[in-house]
Amino acid sequence: MSIPALTQLTEDELAFKEAVRQFAEGEIKPLVTKMDEDAKLDSELVKKLFEMGLMGIETPEEYGGVGSTFTMACLAVEELGRVDGSVSVMVDVQNTLVTNAFIRWGTEEQKKKYLSQMATSKVGAYALSESVSGSDAFALKLRGEEKDDHYVLNGHKLWITNAGEAEIFLVFANINPELGYKGITAFIVDRDTEGFSIGKKEDKLGIRASSTCELIFENCKVPKENVIGEVGKGYKIAIETLNEGRIGIGAQMLGIAQGAYEATLEYIKTREQFGKPIGKFQGVQFQLAEMRTMLEASRLMVYNSARLKDSGKDFVEEAAMAKLYSSRVAEKITSLAIDLFGGNGFTKEYPVEKFWRDAKIGQIYEGTSNMQLQTIAKYEMSK
């Protein structure tokens, strides 16, 4: 199915979107089933993501990146999600969270060292969540203690996306618990740092090939030059990057919904019952029309919030709405897809059961649906 030119994308954006789609179809699609079964991304495929420039889309060219826009990053995340949510979220976290934070708050030395690595060869991870700090993101127990020219980190992180492949970690710890969230500071931790290790890998319902792991800090020594942003201002970095990252999750959910929709459209044109394709029945057509309408509404919300971000305008409420709606749409469309596939949809022989499994996480990570509702309500009440 060709990409519809009805969402006001530029020619360059449409060409980029098509290029990512062709890459996803040719390089990712043949590997999807095995990666899902093995719960592991193909290492050669990860290398190809770097070769395609998909791991440093916004990163300035001087640091080895593409030097493009946030919108372009979201288009890539969408097209990858159309084929595989696991690959999509790796690219999403790399671009909309980790490199985004380095671009905005990193020193020139940090940018030269880390942005260039993440644009060309090294995966990044964003380490905020802990066992007691999910929606209450700043109830952090990971502690940082200042000692001479370094900080010593002790504690754990949980549910960290990309942790299995990552070599660069953006880690949030509290160096002064008495100050509450004002003690939170962001640190750059390299994978080979002494006292740092990767713990348990989660066995998940969906996006199974995406690694989600525990991080362990045992007297982990981090040099002071690896503080990113100001000491005690980690909460600001976390809030603002997550606001941007939610648009990326919206794009991922949009892609998953698109993939399920396209598979369903093809199926109902060929699956016959009572002597004709089931797509000829009005009841099926009405469901298809509902799917298509929700899909387009989701697309417009995601693109609009990305455009606002690129233009430097306030986008926080729009980002929350885009993530909230897109995650709901993804779950609804993938569920309808299984319904329309019938018994076949409940088997792993067909792709829609995986789309459904992959869609569920959209209402949970990078801010639950309830947290998005809270953000939207807060903005509305302040008007």
- Annotated catalytic sites, by residue? 366
Q: What is the DSSP letter of 31?
A: G
Q: How many Cβ atoms are within 10 Å of 43's Cβ, its own excluded?
A: 8
Cα distances (Å, whole numbers) of residue 217 to 154, 158, 222, 316: 5, 12, 11, 33
Q: Residue 133's Cα: distance from chain center in Å?
A: 19
Q: Taking the CA of residue 142 as centre, how many other CA atoms within 13 Å lie in the half-sphere pointing to its CB?
A: 30
Residue 259 structure tokens: 């993939």
Q: Is 120 exposed, middle or buried (0-12, 13-18, 19+ CB in 10 A)?
A: middle
193 contacts: CB under 8 Å, gap ≥ 6: 220, 221, 222
Query: 10: exposed, middle or buried (C-beta count within 10 Å: 0-12, 13-18, 19+)?
Result: exposed
Residue 146, strand partner residues: 151
CA distance linking residue 125 with residue 127, whole number of Å: 6
DSSP one-letter string for 318-361 = HHHHHHHHHHHHHHHHHHHHHHHHGGGGGSTTSTHHHHHHHHGG
Neighbours of 181 (CB within 10 A): 16
Q: Cα(180)–Cα(138) distance, rounded to whole angstroms?
A: 8
- Residue 133's CB is within 10 A of a number of other CB atoms, namely 17
Nearest to 45 by CA among 59, 30, 63: 30
* Residue 286 DSSP SS3: helix
Tell the residue number behind the tokens 């390089």, with chain if given. Answer: 27
Q: Which residues of 353-366 are buried (b: 16+ CB within 10 A; e: fewer)?
A: bbbbbbbbbbbebb
Identify the CA nearest to 20 among candidates 99, 86, 87: 87
